[in-house]
């Protein structure tokens, strides 16, 4: 494109930095998610490692300019391995006063704040709760403030395309993006290509956006750029060679479910009910019909679970998905799947808080619900996703366990993982080991609840199979025939065998490894789920500082890996950071009678690396 | 290989399991069970392709007594489970069995959606206007004033009419029969079986322990002729001893009226003809209540429409037609990718 080909003029020397954290924040109509995803793509193309954290309001379109309508997108990118979306911000771009007031606390001391001064009108200031304009008093003295009237500059840049003022202002996010591209010496071409494709039917809109993008970039290039703003160079990271894409947790889990079903040679019936942040999975799988994937948007959570169980009964792989409160509604049906010993995969994209809680904020407080949350002694395997790309393998593993052991399996992911993205070394589907399911067709000596000696799984029989007609149900059933049984001894035996079957899975999962460091260190930091990144970075940093600390990160929550008790026993101290009030800590203390200590946080935000470093230091430097 | 001999024709008994049926002596469920077993035998249904799904309640024990595939699930959820069964395998012949509490209270939502989606199921609602298995509480179909353990002074909530509910949510097949109509019931069930889509059959059923005689005002032999009208598509809406009574459509007031042939100059030509594709007429028939009207039994409404699971799989078939598209590696690489050297 000629717009871009305009000579990139020689620049002054850029500051070389190892990594940077940038957040775009604005009104939910300002296109901040789009801006962030463009920046992500460009960072990836430049060879940086990265992690992102989209943060949007629960309201669809809150009144413009209000604090509860602020939408933000954060990216941490670097020349080294990036483990989190970043603690504190190097650069905050705000498109209005509400975005400033809600995000300023996350900016580093002396960090850069770029504000669209054109949006700091009296009306917007009042809506954000300011009594005077923070751009005009000394309240931002601790930061490098860059005031630019992006609104006016955008309108000027796009006036040749004959758009209304309102339409013109819509491209100010591209103006801001152009400026940040210039700061980090990034190429615009990918964004230009995207805009041309996206607005192919609306060439004026495409041209206006491209003009705004170029204008923001040119603003940086020319003398108009304030001196406060630096220019930076972030070199490519040392990343394993191969073909990459960015992936969110929702994408990786949906791809893993599909891959798992293909490895098992089963059709998927994905039955779900919309809920934040789980809906993304339904959207992803609904677009995979070419693989024969059935998706069913049920009338409620209970129906979604029930239909998935019906599908499993009929020989498909039933999958249901929700977020915490929706999982609560499904629990009776999950109990039915446990009782009838049918495979079922349940994906729980955890959100914060009891009841409706904080729908768009993240937490990992459904561990109790997953492990203990059913009536009767109703055990089921629980496994967890640690990073946005990890969902692929975890989902495959869930399908493997569910079909091999004829059991529901709960996968715990969370709102952060679901929405956040990271680069993913794309695997070759052919490299995964198959685990084809065998349906029983032999009527000889058939009983619906006779078990495989090794797995204790009962046979899976598709209705439609000759001479194997049988009845199953939630009422306690006779150990082999499956007929209704109230016999006390039989119930004891059935309860025991259900527990033994699930506990036996410990023999079919890997032993727990020390993720970072060595067994026997002075302190083990034990985590699960999305705390992987910050714990990993903090433990590595503290080891670089010479502290004797190790990281243990669990994928398997129930049953726990068979060597875990012994492994944990080798450490002097155990610290369990969790975004809950101590649920894994309870489980570990209960199972191993170990003095595990918690580091707990429930403010809807991921752990900061600094918080974990402080906690590790406190325990090792006393 | 042995040459397989053609299967012998099955009888009702071949659809019975070896399980002892555990309903109260005299329960109307026995007659319905027999009616269903007879129907399947007459239809030459294939036991291996037949699935009975139920929720919770006395009626929901039904699958254990059918020598077919069966799934006794959880209260109210049987229509949802059955929907999943049909989605996974549309070839199966799926029957849903439950009582009025199961399907209209705790499962009202699922019943509604299975019907309005038109999933190809036979939904048999055993209506006895009471909760049996939980020991006699009033149900969503109980009449106002029903005294029960939970309503010692009489119930005060308005009952739901099952047939009107099914019509209201867009049902494509709505029929009624009764446990004691041993010839009528199989005929209605056969029609339900042949209908593609959700077939909703309300079966008035007597609970001998907690609500004995709830329907005797139209089921007892002495009043049957006067208080029941058996509707047939294309036939005049006649009832009464010697078919001496009939229904006419009062067009001014838009309602059905009971008339007697030969009185006030009424002749057979004045009698309304049953048109089972007329939802308005079906609604009026479903509304009729003794003592002013007879209870309408038979197929009140039947109109073919695409069934849900067929449409779902038509979309999938369309999407899978081009076999090359289903390439997991291509899907994994969807979107923008880059290569690290």
Give the model confidence (pLDDT) of A382-417 as tens digits.
999 999 999 999 999 999 999 999 999 999 999 999
Which of A271, A426, A470 is nearest residue B332 as measured by Cβ atoms?
A426
How big is the A-B interface in CB pairs under 8 Å?
204
Give residue-wise pLDDT tens across range B86-114. Answer: 999 999 999 999 999 999 999 999 999 99
Please give the pLDDT value at position B39. Answer: 97
Q: Which residues contact A156 (CB under 8 A, 6 or more apart)?
A: A215
Closest CA in chain B for residue A295: B312
**Tokens 């996010």 belong to residue:** A173
pLDDT at A10 (0 to 100): 47
- Using the predicted structure, report yes or no on whether residue B4 has a pLDDT greater than 70: no
Per-position DSSP letters for A375-431, written without gaps between them: SSS----EEE--STTTHHHHHHHHHHHHHHHT-EEEEEEEHHHHH-EEEEEPPPGGG
DSSP 3-state of A184: coil
Suggest the residue from B58, B62, B80, B326 to mutate for an interface test with chain A (most A CBs closer than 10 A).
B80
CB pair distance less than 8 Å for B331 and A258:
yes
Look at residue A225 in the predicted model and tell me its pLDDT: 66
Q: What is the mean pLDDT of residues A183-189?
A: 93
Average pLDDT value over all residues in chain A: 93
pLDDT at B338: 87
B63 to chain A, any CB pair closer than 8 A? The answer is: yes
Read off the pLDDT of each residue in A185-208 and give the average, rounded to a whole number. 92
Q: Is the pLDDT of residue A236 over 80?
A: yes
Contact A498, A377 (CB under 8 A): yes
Q: Answer yes or no: do A310 and B88 touch at CB < 8 A.
A: yes
Distance CA A565, CA A571 (A): 11
Sign of CA dihedral A387, A389, A395, A398: negative
Asked if A470's CB is within 8 angstroms of B80's CB, the reply is no
Closest in B64, B81, B109 to A309, CB measured? B81
Residue A354 CA: distances (Å) to CA of A58, A160, A413, A601: 16, 53, 17, 15
Residue in B closest to A43 by C-alpha: B338
Question: Is the Cβ pair A464, B340 closer than 8 Å?
Answer: no
Alpha helices (H) along B68-118: 78-88, 100, 108-117
Whether B335 sits inside 8 A of A245 (CB atoms) is: yes
Q: What pLDDT digit, counting tens, does each position of B147-180 carry?
A: 999 999 999 999 999 999 999 999 999 999 999 9
To the nearest whole percent, how much of chain B has pLDDT over 90?
93
Instruction: Find the closest chain B residue to A292 by CA distance.
Output: B316
pLDDT given at position A56? 76
Query: Could you report the per-residue pLDDT of B124-144, keeping only the tens digit for each?
Result: 999 999 999 999 999 999 999
CA distance B248 to B261: 11
- Give the 3-state secondary structure percentages of chain B, helix then strand then coil, rounded to 5: 35, 20, 40
Residue B3 has a pLDDT of 57
| pLDDT single digits (tens) A47-79 | 999 999 888 776 777 788 899 889 999 999 999
d(CA A458, CA A478): 13
Q: Mean of the pLDDT values across residues A605-613?
A: 92
pLDDT tens across A92-131, in order? 999 999 999 999 999 999 999 999 999 999 999 999 999 9
Among A15-19, A115-119, A224-228, A618-622, the range scoring the smallest mean pLDDT is A224-228
Q: Return the pLDDT at B1.
A: 46
Tell whether B312 is within 8 A of chain A (Cβ). yes
CA nearest neighbour of A27 among A58, A68, A85, A78:
A68
CB < 8 Å from A in window 70-109 of B: 70-74, 77, 80-89, 91-92, 109
B87 vs A contacts (CB less than 8 Å): 269, 294, 296, 307, 310-311, 316
Which of A467, A468, A473 to substitute to test the interface with B, most B CBs within 10 Å? A473
Interface of B with A in 160-219 (CB under 8 A): none
| Model ipTM value | 0.96
Instruction: Give φ, ψ of B312 to 5 degrees.
Output: -60, -45
pLDDT in tens, B279-321: 999 999 999 999 999 999 999 999 999 999 999 999 999 999 8
Percent of chain A with pLDDT over 90: 85
Q: Which sign, positive or negative, has the C-alpha torsion A292, A413, A557, A296? A: negative
pLDDT band at B335 (very low <50, low <70, confident <90, very high): confident
Chain A closest-CA separation from residue B115 CA (Å): 12
- Supply A217's token pair: 């970039």
User: Per residue in B180-237, pLDDT tens?
Assistant: 999 999 999 999 999 999 999 999 999 999 999 999 999 999 999 999 999 999 999 9
- Using the predicted structure, report yes or no on whether residue A2 has a pLDDT greater than 70: no
Three-state DSSP state, A266? coil
Residue A588: closest CA among A599, A576, A580:
A576
| Measured distance CA(B330)–CA(A593) in Å, rounded | 49
Is B68 close to A469, i.e. CB distance below 8 A?
yes
CB contact under 8 A, B48 and A463: yes
- pLDDT attached to residue A12: 61
Whether the Cβ atoms of residue A515 and residue A552 lie closer than 8 Å to each other: yes
Residue of A nearest to B335 (CA): A245
- Segment A307-356, tens digit of pLDDT: 999 999 999 999 999 999 999 999 999 999 999 999 999 999 999 999 99
Residue A564 has pLDDT above 60, yes or no: yes
A481 to chain B: nearest residue by CA?
A: B19
What CA–CA distance (Å, rounded) separates B330 from A104?
42
User: Which chain A residues contact residue B111 at CB under 8 A?
Assistant: none
Q: What is the pLDDT of residue A7?
A: 40
B311: nearest CA partner in chain A: A294
pLDDT at A360 over 90: no
Could you read off the pLDDT of A461-486 as tens digits, one per residue? 999 999 999 999 999 999 988 899 99
Contact A471 B17 (CB under 8 A): yes
CB contact under 8 A, B340 and A244: yes
Looking at residue B234, its pLDDT comes to 98
Span between the terminal Cα atoms of chain B, in Å: 60
Measured between alpha carbons, how far is A617 from A611 in angstroms, rounded to an integer?
A: 10
**How large is the average pLDDT for residues A549-565?**
98
Which residue has tokens 């197929």?
B299
Listed as own residue / partner, the contacts of A431-439 with beta carbons closer than 8 Å and 24 or more positions apart are A432/A259, A432/A263, A432/A396, A433/A263, A434/A263, A434/A264, A434/A265, A435/A263, A435/A264, A435/A400, A435/A403, A435/A404, A436/A263, A436/A264, A436/A265, A437/A264, A437/A265, A437/A266, A437/A403, A439/A315, A439/A465
What average pLDDT does this structure show over A546-570?
98
Name the residue facing A310 among B85, B316, B331 (closest C-beta).
B85
Work out the pLDDT band at B333, boundaries 50, 70, 90: very high
Integer distance in angstroms from the first to the last C-alpha of chain A?
61
* pLDDT confidence tier of residue A5, bands split at 50, 70 and 90: very low
Nearest residue of chain B to residue A476 (CA atoms): B72
**Nearest CB neighbour to A314, from listed B88, B325, B326:** B88
Contact B339 A311 (CB under 8 A): no
Contact residues on chain A for B121, CB-CB shorter than 8 A: none
Distance from CA of B4 to the nearest CA of A (A): 13
pLDDT of B2 over the 60 cut: no
Give the closest of B69, B89, B332 to A255, CB-based: B332
* Residue to test with chain A: of B81, B318, B325, B329, most A Cβ within 10 A: B81
Query: For helices A279-286 and A249-264, what crossing angle results, to 10°?
Result: 50
Q: What are phi and psi of A542, to 5 degrees?
A: -70, -30
Residue of B185, B205, B188 whose CA lies nearest to B302: B188
What pLDDT digit, counting tens, does each position of A128-181 carry? Answer: 999 999 999 999 999 999 999 999 999 999 999 888 888 899 999 999 999 999
Number of CB atoms found within 10 A of residue A590's CB: 10
CA distance linking residue A16 with residue B78, whole number of Å: 64
Res A622 pLDDT > 70: no
Q: What is the pLDDT of residue A6?
A: 40
């Amino acid at each position: 494109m000629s717009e871009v080909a305009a000579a990139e003029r020689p620049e002054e020397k850029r500051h070389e930095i190892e990594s940077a954290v940038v957040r775009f924040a604005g009104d939910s109509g300002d296109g901040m998610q789009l801006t962030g995803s463009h920046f992500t793509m460009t960072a990836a193309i430049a060879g940086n490692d990265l992690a992102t954290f989209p943060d949007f309001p629960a309201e669809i379109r809150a009144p413009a300019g209000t604090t509860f309508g602020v939408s933000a997108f954060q990216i941490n990118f670097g020349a080294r391995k990036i483990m989190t979306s970043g603690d504190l911000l190097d650069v905050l771009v705000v498109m209005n006063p509400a975005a400033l007031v809600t995000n300023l606390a996350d900016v580093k001391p002396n960090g850069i704040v770029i504000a669209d001064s054109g949006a700091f009108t009296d009306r917007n200031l009042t809506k954000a709760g300011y009594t005077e304009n923070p751009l005009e008093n000394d309240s931002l003295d601790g930061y490098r403030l860059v005031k630019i009237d992006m609104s006016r500059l955008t309108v000027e840049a796009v006036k040749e395309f004959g758009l209304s003022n309102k339409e013109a202002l819509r491209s100010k996010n591209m103006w801001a993006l152009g400026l940040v591209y210039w700061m980090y010496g990034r190429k615009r071409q990918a964004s230009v290509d995207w805009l041309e494709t996206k607005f192919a039917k609306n060439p004026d809109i495409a041209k206006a956006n491209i003009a705004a993008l170029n204008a923001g970039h040119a603003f940086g290039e020319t003398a108009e750029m304030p001196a406060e703003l630096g220019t930076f160079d972030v070199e490519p990271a040392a990343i394993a060679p191969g073909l990459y894409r960015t992936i969110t947790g929702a994408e990786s889990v949906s791809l893993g479910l599909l891959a798992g079903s293909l490895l098992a040679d089963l059709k998927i019936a994905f039955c779900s009910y919309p809920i934040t942040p789980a809906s993304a999975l339904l959207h992803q799988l609904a677009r995979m019909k070419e693989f024969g994937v059935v998706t069913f948007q049920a009338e409620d959570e209970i129906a979604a679970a029930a239909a998935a169980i019906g599908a499993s009964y009929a020989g498909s792989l039933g999958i249901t998905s929700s977020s915490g409160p929706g999982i609560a509604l499904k629990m009776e049906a999950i109990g039915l799947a446990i009782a009838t010993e049918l495979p079922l995969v349940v994906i729980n994209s955890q959100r914060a808080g009891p009841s409706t809680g904080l729908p768009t904020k993240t937490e990992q407080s459904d561990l109790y619900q997953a492990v203990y949350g059913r009536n009767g002694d109703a055990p089921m395997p629980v496994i967890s996703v640690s990073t946005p790309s990890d969902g692929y393998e975890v989902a495959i593993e869930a399908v493997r366990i569910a079909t091999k052991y004829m059991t529901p399996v709960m996968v715990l992911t969370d709102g952060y993982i679901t929405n956040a993205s990271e680069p993913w070394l794309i695997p070759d589907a052919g490299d995964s080991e198959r685990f084809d399911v065998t349906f029983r067709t032999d009527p000889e000596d058939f009983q619906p609840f006779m078990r495989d000696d090794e797995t204790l799984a009962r046979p899976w029989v598709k209705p439609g199979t000759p001479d194997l007609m049988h009845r199953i149900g939630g009422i306690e059933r006779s150990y082999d025939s499956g007929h209704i049984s109230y016999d006390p001894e039989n119930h004891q035996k059935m309860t025991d065998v259900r527990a033994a079957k699930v506990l036996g899975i410990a023999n079919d999962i890997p032993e727990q490894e020390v993720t970072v460091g060595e067994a026997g260190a002075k302190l083990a930091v034990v985590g699960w789920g999305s705390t992987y990144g910050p714990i990993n970075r903090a433990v590595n940093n503290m080891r670089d500082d010479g502290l004797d600390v190790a990281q243990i990160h669990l994928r398997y929550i129930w049953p726990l890996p068979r060597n875990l008790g012994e492994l944990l026993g080798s450490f002097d101290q155990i610290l369990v950071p969790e975004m809950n009030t101590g649920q894994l800590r309870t489980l570990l203390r209960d199972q191993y009678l170990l003095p595990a200590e918690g580091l707990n946080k429930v403010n809807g935000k991921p752990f900061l690396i600094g918080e974990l470093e402080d906690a590790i230091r406190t325990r090792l430097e006393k | 290989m042995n040459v397989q001999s053609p299967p012998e024709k099955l009888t009702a008994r071949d659809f019975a399991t070896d399980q002892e049926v555990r309903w109260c002596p005299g329960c109307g469920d026995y007659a319905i069970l027999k009616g269903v077993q007879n129907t399947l035998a007459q239809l030459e249904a294939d036991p291996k392709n037949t699935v009975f799904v139920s929720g919770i309640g006395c009626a929901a024990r039904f699958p254990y007594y059918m020598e077919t595939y069966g799934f006794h699930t959880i209260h109210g959820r049987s229509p949802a489970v059955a929907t999943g069964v049909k989605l996974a395998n549309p070839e199966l012949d799926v029957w849903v069995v439950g009582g009025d509490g199961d399907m209209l209270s705790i499962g009202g939502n699922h019943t509604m959606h299975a019907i309005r989606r038109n999933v190809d199921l036979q939904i048999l609602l055993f209506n006895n206007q009471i909760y049996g298995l939980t020991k006699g509480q009033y149900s969503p179909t109980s009449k106002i004033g029903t005294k029960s353990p939970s309503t010692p002074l009489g119930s005060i909530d308005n009952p739901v009419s099952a047939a009107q509910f099914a019509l209201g949510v867009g049902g494509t097949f709505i029929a009624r029969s009764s446990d004691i109509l041993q010839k009528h019931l199989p005929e209605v069930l056969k029609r339900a079986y042949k209908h593609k889509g959700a077939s909703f059959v309300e079966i008035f059923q007597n609970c001998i322990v907690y609500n004995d005689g709830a329907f005797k005002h139209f089921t007892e032999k002495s009043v049957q002729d006067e208080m029941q009208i058996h509707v047939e598509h294309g036939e005049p809406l006649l009832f009464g001893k010697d078919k001496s009574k009939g229904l006419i459509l009062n067009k001014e007031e838009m309602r059905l009226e009971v008339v007697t042939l030969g009185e006030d100059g009424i002749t057979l030509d004045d009698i309304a003809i049953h048109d089972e594709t007329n939802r308005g007429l079906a609604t009026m028939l479903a509304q009729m209540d003794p003592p002013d009207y007879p209870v309408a039994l038979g197929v009140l409404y039947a109109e073919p429409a695409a069934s849900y699971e067929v449409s779902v799989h038509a979309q999938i078939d369309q999407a899978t037609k081009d076999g090359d598209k289903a390439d997991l590696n291509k899907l994994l690489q969807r979107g923008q990718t880059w290569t690290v050297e």
